[in-house]
Amino acid sequence: MKALRSLLGSMYVVTIALLLLLAAVASYRQGTFPGSLLIAVFACSILDLLVARFFLKRKGFRFPYSGFISGTIIGSIAPVNAPAAAILVAAAVAIASKYLIRLKGRHIFNPATLGLLVSLWLFSLGDVWWAASPIVWVAGFAFPLTLLLLVANYQAGKLRVSMPFLAATAILYAATQFIAVPFTAAGLFTFFSSLPFYFAFIMLSEPKTSPNAPREQIIFGVSVAVLVFALEHAHVKYPFFVALLAGNLVYSLYRSGFFHRKIRQQKEA
């Protein structure tokens, strides 16, 4: 029983369960079989296991939670009918980046985000976010099921990343009327439902590539929000991916002491 409670309380298990729930609801509502999702999950999980066995030399079987989640994210954002080759490229780049693009023993980029950016660009595909939009109607208002991901975000200790990001995004969207809605209860609910909860609670807050210190988390979340907004207004393709990867890189350099060394060198010069 103790092992079962531990498993059910695992951040990874809760995240996987919620991501699959969103995908199942979205697939049912759209009447579409999520082929890309199945390919992505299978490919990322198998690649993760192969790397663990032959590259990291791990003995025995351990469920590839990280690979499964990366595959679920890739399959939930890429087009449902994307070519299998595009999904396989995204999976390969995602898993390879965790082990090959590293700084001081830690991977730099959010794996799924990098895999998606490379693959969608190579195959000239759009980021659809098809599993990020399922909604239910409560008292006549649209309620985004992606809010359920807040549970996984809380378990990961990353609410100080996601909530400042969402607050900054809401302020920027409202101040510039990027999302123009009437100032009514229905309008405000529509505005609220349009916020990028999936990105904030899952991708932005990925445990290995986002900060842990509270102050750094807030700065990271707000900075990525501002960059996403700027890229959207500049009509840059894949603004969420580009902004997050830029944030990952800057934070990784900061974490490694790169900026401290540069400042010290300038003072000594």
Prediction pTM value: 0.90
207-220 in b/e form (b: 16+ CB < 10 A) is eebbbeeeebbbbb
Residues 203 and 216: their CA atoms lie apart, in Å, by 17
List, in order, residues 6 or more apart from 248 with CB less than 8 Å away. 108, 109, 110, 113, 209, 210
Mean pLDDT, 10 residues at a time, over the chain (269 residues)?
50 92 91 92 96 82 92 96 96 95 90 98 96 76 85 94 96 81 66 89 94 96 97 95 97 84 62
Strand 102-103 with 106-107, pairing: antiparallel
Residues 195 and 48: their CA atoms lie apart, in Å, by 32
pLDDT at 187: 64
